[in-house]
Amino acid sequence: MKQNILVIDRDEEVFEHIRDAFENEVISVRHVYTAEEGLFRMRMKNYSLIVMDVALSEQSGRAIITAMPNHKAPMSLEAR
């Protein structure tokens, strides 16, 4: 079964680094640019890992976590 990673970030370079590090025959990495797109994707598919910019312009990463379908106390790591 293929594992899925979702990257929510405006920066294409961030996505490319994550994709290059993780994507292979059993891991698929999907990229979206906005919180709205990310929430839509989360409703359509279950992701093993979601990586997001906590400072998205239209909605904070923390707000997205609480709006996630099937919200189950995710691990949150922040880098400054």
Q: What is the pLDDT along the chain (80 residues), one digit of tens a residue?
A: 889 999 999 899 999 999 999 999 999 999 999 888 988 998 898 888 888 887 776 666 667 777 776 655 455 555 55
pTM to 2 decimal places = 0.79
State residue 26's pLDDT score.
95
pLDDT at 19: 96
In the chain, domain spans: 3-67
Residue pair 6/51 in contact (Cβ under 8 Å)? The answer is yes
Widest pairwise Cα distance in the chain: 34
Cα distance between residue 64 and residue 16, in whole Å: 22
Q: Would you state the pLDDT for residue 78?
A: 53
- CATH code matching the domain that covers 3-67, chosen among 3.30.420.40, 3.40.50.300, 3.40.120.10, 3.40.50.2300: 3.40.50.2300
